[in-house]
Structure 1
Amino acid sequence: MGQTVAAWLWGQHARFIVWLPVLLAAGIALYFALPWEPGGTWAFGMGMLVVASVTGRLLWGARLPVRMGCGVVGACAAGLLVAWGQAHRMPPFPDLPRRAVHLSGRVTGVDGQTLRDGTRVSRVGLADVRFLDGINIGMRPLRRQIMLRLRPDDPAVPVAGDTLSARALLAPPAFPAMPGGYDAQRRAWFGGLAGYGRALERVTSAHPRGPSGMAAWLRTLRQGLAQRIRTALPGPRGTIAATVLTGEDGVIDAETREAFADAGLAHLLAVAGLHLAIVMGLVMAVVRMGLALSEHAALFWPCRQIAGVAALLAGGGYVVLTGAHLPAQRSLIMAGLAVVALLAGRRPLSIRALAVAAAVLMVLAPEEVAELPLQMSMAAVMALVAGFDALRPVLSAWGHDVMWMRRVGARMARPLLASVLAGSACLPVGMAHFGTVQPWFVLANLLAVPLMSVWIMPWGLVSLLLMPLGAEKLALAPMGWGIGVVAWLAHLVAGLPVARVSVPAMGGGGLVLFFAGLCWLCLWAGRVRLLGALPVVLAVLSPWVGRMPVVLVAPDARMVGVVAGGQVLTGPGTHPDPFVLREWQRVTGLRAGLLPVEGRQGRVACRNGICRVAGQGGDIVLLLAARMPDAALCLGARVVVNLHGQAGCPGVGRVGRFDLWREGAYALYFRGGDGLEMRTDRATRGARPWVMRPGGAGMPDLPLAQAE
């Protein structure tokens, strides 16, 4: 039996290398899941473990247990070490002023933002920020950036490299809206952000006298191109064109974004692999056709290889122009490997190329393993490459069949299979990050993606070529026609029945289980790979197996939510925080509602600013108005949630305002029988570098002492 298993595993040894990024990701995910922060001694031990694994692999690699054990342990330890090093090289969060403050800083980038009311404002990234008031005079510049939103009526047009001065109100990155929810502080920690702010007055901007560097020049170029595109093509079509041609983010209005998301077309609004593939494909086709016009070049030059190199250069320029976002970087690395394979006479697209690209990205930015873009792109590309590898014999046989119907069917099946494979692989990832499912995504992509490939992007590239001549409108007009058709299609599909189905968000454990099954399906060889479908199915069903929270309390003590009657009922007041409510709805998959002012709704009953949530072992009492608990209120209470103070009932659990300040958001769960479980944000995330101190306090950035 042992020899049979060993022979079976040796048959897979040629594919062991493709598991390297999977094991790296496992180590990185383990680091982020730890409830405590490892120290330097622990990191040194992980480094020694990596060295020992490499040594064992080199010395005793002929032995299968050593070969596999060293590979698994070494890769996982390397992932842990890379994530630890990335986290500890980042500067600490500064302690931002809690009042309006005058500040100045260097503009690193400018993009647009469309508010929910349709108002468009500018958002500026500021580096080397100094505060100019009171005790902050003489302070060192911040080592992190501030993202500042300007006033809608501000006429200033800052560009990268400018020195900007403003009076602003600042805020640190927000705490999670519930334990285990989206961690904006972790995103800001690795993104180099100190916090966010909004200008209270019009800002002043001064242009630098000297050169400001290549990065600033690129940002200024991108900003100017986006402005010219929107001028030539006003309205939503212009904002979409600016997004796909320059990578401008945040300018598309919420209604359009929601329609594209509900139709499964949100990937068209983010520069990623699809757009890069279209650009490189067009350039490669044009260059190769141009070389074929010359008899000498067609006979004696390696036209295919020349076209591939030209396409890679064009793709690199497009990625740089659009801001070099992570999905585009991943696609560019894969494109580079494909061109190298083309030059070497090998198959351009393969699982090995994807594995190399994924490993490089994880080493450069390990924090992206926990974020949506990398997860979505890796799932989609892995499913596409593995799926077409498995179906290649059938598609090839049909493509060369004598029957014309099979040849046509083979050609039509390719875009359909691409939509099904990529969409199905991304669907569980969307469940985890958005709590939604779009059943009509195949229909929308079958029509929109070809239109983007053969009409919208070609005209967009032509418009970039015509800009030096000032004639970009000649190409932007037909590009806008195509964008209009795609937008109409998105709204049409989004209006279909059950176009957007809200589901409980998949937890971290379910997401890990899904990727484990997907990797087994795509990376293992033989029919045994079909066993990977089991963990995928279990992961998709996992949101309905876990327990639903009963009471949710926001970290700022301004909002409480009760899960009752198939809704998330919020209070006090009739205007809940939209960001907190959106996160609660994402996790629960339920509609939003308001707590009754008087009366009962489901298990919750409210009267005179007091709500009671019925439970077997006692009620959860919610004090929505400022008052002291009395004997009648404490009768039958199991937990008292006091949004206005710390007072509670004797011998009863309590969640007070100070508890929320210290521990962050709370979530209360009913357990079997009469049990009750309280989870807090701080206990869930643990003591990590990116977890800010209570109240969002950071490291004080005091001014330098006066020299004697």
Structure 2
Amino acid sequence: MAAAKWETQRYATTMLGSAVSTVMTARIVSLEQEAEEDGKAGRWRIVADVLATEKPHLRYAPQRLRLSARDLPALSETGTVLKGAVRLRAHGGPVRSGQYDFAFHGFFRGHGGNGFYLGTPEIIDSDIASEPQDKSWQASVEAIIGQLRALIGGRIMQALNGEEGAVAAALISGQRAGISEATNEALRIAGLAHILSISGLHLALAAGIVMVSVRGLAGLFPSLSLYYPVKKIAALISLFSSGFYLALSGADVAAQRSFIMLAVMLCAVIMDRKALTLRNLAIAALFSILVTPHEILGPSFQMSYSATGALIAGFAWVKLRKRQNPEKTERQTGLLHTVRRWLIGIIATSLLAGTASGLYAAFHFNNMAPLGMLGNALALPVISVLIMPFAVIALLLMPLSLEWLPLQVMGKGIELVKWIAHFVAGLSPDLIPGLLPAPVLLLWTAAMLSAMILTSHLRLISLMFVGAGFVSLVATDLPDINVSEDARLVAVRQNNILYVNRPRPAAFTTDNWRKAYKITEVRVPDKKGAESSEGFICMDGLCSFDLANGQVLAYAENRDAAQIACNIGDVIIFAFAGNMHCSKRQDRDDTSPLIITRQQLALKGVAEIYLPLNREINQERTIIQAAKAATQIENSVAGDKSKNNANSAGEVKVVFAVGEPQRPWHLYRLWSRAARNLED
């Protein structure tokens, strides 16, 4: 907790509050280009430090932003200063309660917002460009590494054309933007998406190749092997080479954690201790939490450490079984036995790591790789033999301009891995796990930890946590209505169909909701606006939806539509700026509709609405109608009682994804125009 507080104070990122257009001068920190689409050059993705803004001048401009551009000047590179008109936007919150929060992770990356260039910016050479924004040695090292990454990525792309070069650049320098969406999707479905991010697999293979090479070379000189601790020297050289690989890759959080784990293991070798133990994994995890405590809530931390812990615990259990039953362990030799053990090891590795990390992939990304074990069993040998060794050789030969030949071998390996990914993806069923609530994730994490850490029959405790997780999963309620935080998109879940209020809904948000609730169809409003059509009926800024429980959902984009919404709606959403009340409705039938305003959504994030049952609503309406037929006094008393009954028996529950903005990474919400009830 102290580390988390210190980290929050250390970053203190200035966050953009509202969308704004301005003319900005900024220095490029990193630069990547996306893959081509339909023969068109991909967009540029830029991380830039803000130097100045004008027309208008931003008094509280963020220090660093993520930007995109359709086109850039030809000489643009890391360190170049660009000036151009930009449209800046504040970070978005989670699209569902408990999911990935872009503002949270942007805050701890130092990114105060995002945006895009309106046209092509220009390179400038002025006084403000010549003065560095940050004169610290960290900034200088960061600039040198950024230029080195760009240089190495360019050399790789010159030697390897097409997507193979983009994948090679991702494996060596960490630049992933040039990979097509089709390849990314195939790798994800086949359970091979992890090979694109420099993590434990790449660092371990690179360190292992260096260590084996150094020991092999030392073995050619008997005086070295006999009189010097070659194994420890090789481990030390491997540690430094891994550190260089970490810096070259961009040193993102996943790579940092993998390096910490590898460094602990190599230090254990230097100190004559066992390298692969859960104790060493715990040391690495504690160090990660102290340095970057916010990452414990992210998918990368959870997937990395769960997979590594499962592998260490699983193979330790196998070794323990062999030690306890030596008579059952047959000592066999030969090529076939070696190949069989190798294949069994790959399958066991894929099964253990895939199962452990798949739990968190299902929670964060709403997807699973059912044939991931097959994909990894086929691809890992290729990666270990044809890709990573030649990647190390190419990097070593690059100063001599001799990297072409090893990169060609590496390209053939990448081509084979792509074929394997598409092959496995073609066989894989379209499995969507659906919503995995946080309590279920915690219970199943407890089950995993129990199975890893306990070494006796106490491991059976994990079955209790697994059962409790299934009970919690079955008992979880799903929201009936979702409202986006910009108040533009409303979705109703009904009859395994997701009804939305816009003909062209936001693809990212809609797809996330569809996968979370395992919806097979998304239905947009009827263009003709026929009252008999199923779903939303929209006309002149007003949308209505007849809910399954007998209530009516009304969505209003302006004040004129709001007057009608107050008359017909039981659940009302006001998507415009300004205050609006449905006082006439309350005086008419003594019922208060649920009202969600644009201001509430701007402050608290996405709204999830849980409706009461049909029967409860009808009973409440019957009570109200009977009470109205009585005298004025009786009507008042009955109306109060019926209202209390409605709140207790047929209450509509609303959950906001963010809640009141109290954390530093959410305070920017207070300054948005929507939060202040102002027009955009």
TM > 0.5 fold call: yes
Question: Could you tell me which of 14, 31, 38 is aligned with 1:93?
Answer: 14
Counterpart Cα distance in 2 of 1:416 and 1:223: 37
Deviations 1:179-220 (A, max 9, x none): 433211111111111111211132233577699722201101
- Aligned twin of 1:481: 412
Question: Could you tell me which of 494, 503, 506 is aligned with 1:577?
Answer: 506
Deviation at 1:128, TM superposition (A): 4.3
- Alignment map for 1:96-107 (pairs within 5 Å): 98-107=19-28
- Aligned twin of 1:109: 30
User: Tell me, which stretches of 5 or more residues in structure 2 are unaligned?
Assistant: 133-138, 587-591, 618-649, 674-680
- Aligned twin of 1:280: 207
Deviations 1:596-640 (A, max 9, x none): 4157999846465633232436333345798536779845x4212
Pair 1:308 & 2:235 matched: yes
Question: Could you tell me which of 116, 132, 142 is aligned with 2:54?
Answer: 132
Pair 1:362 & 2:281 matched: no
SS of residue in 1 equivalent to 2:351: helix
- Aligned twin of 2:371: 440
SS of residue in 2 equivalent to 1:628: helix
Q: How many residues align?
A: 612
SS of residue in 2 equivalent to 1:383: helix
- Aligned twin of 2:346: 415
Deviation at 1:401, TM superposition (A): 1.6
Deviation at 1:97, TM superposition (A): 6.9
Q: Which amino acid aligns with 1:264?
A: G
Q: Which amino acid aligns with 1:188?
A: G
Q: Is the 8 A contact 2:82 2:123 kept in 1?
A: yes
Q: Is the 8 A contact 1:663 1:680 kept in 2?
A: no
- Alignment map for 1:100-249 (pairs within 5 Å): 100-114=21-35, 119-136=41-58, 142=61, 144-151=63-70, 153-206=71-124, 213-249=140-176
Q: Is the 8 A contact 1:400 1:407 kept in 2?
A: no
Counterpart Cα distance in 2 of 1:97 and 1:662: 12
Question: Could you tell me which of 697, 701, 708 is aligned with 2:672?
Answer: 697
Q: Which amino acid aligns with 1:664?
A: G
**Which shifted more, 680-689 or 552-561?**
680-689
Q: Which amino acid aligns with 1:657?
A: R
Q: Is the 8 A contact 2:549 2:612 kept in 1?
A: no
Pair 1:588 & 2:521 matched: no
Q: Is the 8 A contact 1:455 1:482 kept in 2?
A: yes
Deviations 1:247-275 (A, max 9, x none): 11333222211111111111011110000
- Alignment map for 1:619-658 (pairs within 5 Å): 619-623=552-556, 627-628=560-561, 634=567, 637-643=569-575, 646=580, 649-650=585-586, 651-658=592-599
Question: Could you tell me which of 174, 179, 189 is aligned with 1:252?
Answer: 179
Tell me the percent identity. 26
Q: 1:641 to 1:206 in 2, by over 3 A?
A: closer
Counterpart Cα distance in 2 of 1:587 and 1:459: 41
- Aligned twin of 1:65: none
Deviations 1:308-350 (A, max 9, x none): 1222121111111101122222222222222222122221111
Q: Is the 8 A contact 2:174 2:198 kept in 1?
A: yes
Pair 1:679 & 2:669 matched: no
Q: Which amino acid aligns with 1:149?
A: S
SS of residue in 1 equivalent to 2:410: helix
Deviations 1:440-486 (A, max 9, x none): 01000001111111111112222222322333222222211111111
Pair 1:531 & 2:461 matched: yes
- Alignment map for 1:378-457 (pairs within 5 Å): 378-394=305-321, 401-402=331-332, 409-457=340-388
Counterpart Cα distance in 2 of 1:115 and 1:654: 45
Cα RMSD after superposing both structures: 3.0
Q: Is the 8 A contact 1:165 1:205 kept in 2?
A: yes
Larger Rg: 2
- Aligned twin of 1:372: 299
Counterpart Cα distance in 2 of 1:129 and 1:413: 56
- Aligned twin of 1:29: none
Q: 1:683 to 1:410 in 2, by over 3 A?
A: closer
Counterpart Cα distance in 2 of 1:287 and 1:364: 32
**Which shifted more, 171-180 or 598-607?**
598-607
Give the TM-score of the pair, scaled to structure 2.
0.83
**Which shifted more, 243-252 or 530-539?**
530-539
Counterpart Cα distance in 2 of 1:189 and 1:556: 20
Counterpart Cα distance in 2 of 1:695 and 1:602: 40
Q: 1:632 to 1:125 in 2, by over 3 A?
A: closer
Counterpart Cα distance in 1 of 2:14 and 2:409: 47
User: Tell me, which stretches of 5 or more residues in structure 1 are unaligned?
Assistant: 1-79, 699-708
Q: Which amino acid aligns with 1:619?
A: V
Q: Is the 8 A contact 1:565 1:601 kept in 2?
A: no
- Aligned twin of 2:483: 553
Give the TM-score of the pair, scaled to structure 1.
0.80
**Which shifted more, 223-232 or 351-360?**
223-232
SS of residue in 2 equivalent to 1:436: coil
Q: Is the 8 A contact 1:103 1:168 kept in 2?
A: yes
Counterpart Cα distance in 1 of 2:441 and 2:389: 37
**Which shifted more, 120-129 or 548-557?**
120-129
SS of residue in 1 equivalent to 2:549: coil
- Aligned twin of 1:512: 442
Deviations 1:544-603 (A, max 9, x none): 431111111111122111112323222222x21122223323432323512341579998
SS of residue in 2 equivalent to 1:120: coil
Higher relative contact order (CA 8 A, sep 6+): 1
Q: 1:561 to 1:161 in 2, by over 3 A?
A: same
Deviation at 1:172, TM superposition (A): 1.1
Deviation at 1:231, TM superposition (A): 2.4
**Which shifted more, 409-418 or 210-219?**
210-219
Deviation at 1:222, TM superposition (A): 0.1
